[in-house]
Amino acid sequence: MNYNLEKIDAKEYAGDLVFLYGDEGAERSLPLSRKELDVMKSRRDKERHFVMVFDRLPYHLYFVSFNSEKPAAEAQEQLRRSAAEVLGKMKEWRPESAAVTAVGTLPEEVAAFVEGMTLADYSFDRYRSKDVWHLKRLDIDSLFIKPAELEAAQRLWNRIFWCREWVNMPVQDLNAASFADELAAVASDLEGVTCTVMDKRQIESLRMGGLLAVNRGSVDEPRFVVLEYKGSDDKPVALVGKGVMYDTGGLNIKPEDYMTEMKSDMAGAATMASVLFAAADNRLPVHLLVFLPLTDNRPGFNAYAADDILTMYDGTTVEVVNTDAEGRLILADAIAYAVKNYQPRLVIDAATLTGAAVRAIGTFGIAAMQTSADNELSMLKLLGEQVGERIVEFPMWDDYDELLKSEVADLRNCGTVPQAGAITAGKFLAHFATTPYVHLDIAGVAFFSKAQHYYGPGASGFGIRLLYAFLQMHDVLNS
């Protein structure tokens, strides 16, 4: 979608027009006839949040009513969701362009609506033989958004687009090696970004027992990618992303109904890479490192098995209880490597890690845990409400350590009883993070089987806007 800022007169604009309305005090400025105004007011007396379409043949007016008296975060999320509704109605007429203006509306509310339009307009089209309708141009009333703000937002949205593309791609076309190559290519085009790609031989020299074990069943070799963006001389923030390019479950193979959509098990890696690229695009004053262990998890060749005992990068021994708890094994190596070699001030991981997180909170937010990072997680929770990517914090009580104790090794890779699965995964990873640490389990929100609000079916890029907003607060957190 292309964007154009211009002064828009709602009563004179010749084209499909979206009009945002949240304040009765601006009633005189509405581009409605008396009859249309009566219909709108009657509807608004019953509910504040709705979308109405009025014919302006050959064009249409999309009237978006919302409640400006709600808390700012609620009103803005409401507008993002209304944007998806408007786009759905537009598909009936398939216009090439449209415009957005408003009255009695704040600039951040207009920005939220435009963001919702952008996120909702995405679909995964590269394998389709027929063209899919997309809105080609959106004119935005320049009264509400400054050019520099729009350009920065566009760069962020572009990174979300590419994250969704990567996660949606099948493993036949995007395995560990080809994904690493794509990341290196993107990094080479960005000022201040470096990319190091380690192959299997180098991973073996590092003795990353978790990553190597998970890869043993696959014909495709693993990769370990380190991205760095040095936008300041501060101590770095380390982002770690789970990069299981496809997860069969290994020898503990998944049943058929759980195998579908497992191309999305690398969403954590795609998310964290995209956050760094967005930070570099917009020159955020942060020092950022991203660590991405990449492999698929297959049951072939000399696949690792339950009862195996692995030696991880930091020397910890791990008894394998279930080969489908593979994500934490590759993340553990990456976290330990980041801590030992870069001494970050904070480690944050993102991973489609557990079905337990989905069962606990559904597809409506991120399950999060922390150790020694209470302030950072509190900030993430606050920002999550503001950007519409909410977080629910789970406890990390010492009691859960009992569920990971092994009779033959330092740790089990998962508990043996069906209790607190999301939490024990976080506890396992926290063992390897000796710095302040935040764990984000994005299993419920990284990939949707059907459309949800302004996300269509497939990859969402959920978490990128949250972490980007967090990095924008970097100076505040360090002051």
Q: Which amino acids are annotated catalytic?
A: 254, 328
Q: How far apart are CA 472 and CA 464, in angstroms?
A: 12
Q: What pairs with residue 24 in β-bridges?
A: none
